[in-house]
Structure 1
Amino acid sequence: MELSRSEQKRRIKQLEKFVHELVQQPPGVIRDLPCDTEVRDLLLEAVALKGGARKRQLKYITKLLRSTPVEPLYDFMSRRRGSKLREDRAFHELEYMRDTLLSEAVEQYRLHREQQVQWEEHWDSQAIRDIEAQLPGIDTRALARLGYQFALTRNRRHSREVFRLLRAAHEQLQFKKG
């Protein structure tokens, strides 16, 4: 799935919040972070900064982290702070999957209406294929049906049901892993 500009901005904002949280850690914890020395030194410098200088430093650190894998940092902070951080990240990923699916369903509905062609409840969807790749074993027929129902009615109940399916599949996958 290619990320929209809005989604990219949301993810950058989320990473920026994470960097802000890293800077609030004691210096001993920052020294133990599993990242390269440049980022670690910049985080230690940011602790002493105030106001605009600190904001600029945090933005710069965020920019550096965008091009590197941050999973080790998330894992480190999860162990330190519990699993809340990982849960929040997973929640946002599931929201993104739901929104992508529903947007595609609405677009398909619009295209079929314009072409005056009957649209089937079990339609072919790239978003559903992408979701299935990330969450194997998810009920793709139910996702297609709910996306179809949402596109026809715009009823939020269908949106919530899509999210419930995604979350259940995610939890099942986590249970199998651990």
Structure 2
Amino acid sequence: MYDTYDEEHENVARLNKTQQKREIAELHDLAKSLSRLDAVALEKMDLPKELFQALIDVQSMKHGAEKRQFKFIVKLLRQIETESFMETIAELDAKKSEQDKNFHRTERWRDRLISEGHDALTEFMGLYPLADSGQIRQLVRNANKEALENKPHKSSRALFRLLRDIICQ
């Protein structure tokens, strides 16, 4: 990873120190990202045993030990090809971002439907024509009634689940 072979001159050229530091920083970021994954996700990535165990161990460590453990993980990462791990992390981040976006979109629609009523429902049905407007209307009425009576927000949660299913189809 750090040494490159020059065929013309038959010598080994070392990367400059700045480039080495940049690569180590990238590996450290990768190690941090990998450490946030649960054991099941790490098992699916087909990591070497020692690296897998180091990542599991770091999840329960305090600051000083965690810092040393990350140095050890970076050392292990320097010995293997990491491109596939970086791609997997990027895919997971993209998937999480999409889930967050859908969650917030659903929340906004629920809040609009409850506060604006008929106008928001008309707009929602224009975007999602297969949705059951009667069921949505009933849940909106119940949610407003529960809010006025200071009851638990059962209908609001049910409306959120229904909207999530419609939006995330």
Length-normalised TM-score, structure 1? 0.43
Structure with greater Cα Rg: 2
Instruction: Choose between structure 1 and 2: higher helix proportion.
Output: 1
Length-normalised TM-score, structure 2? 0.45
Instruction: Choose between structure 1 and 2: higher strand proportion.
Output: 2
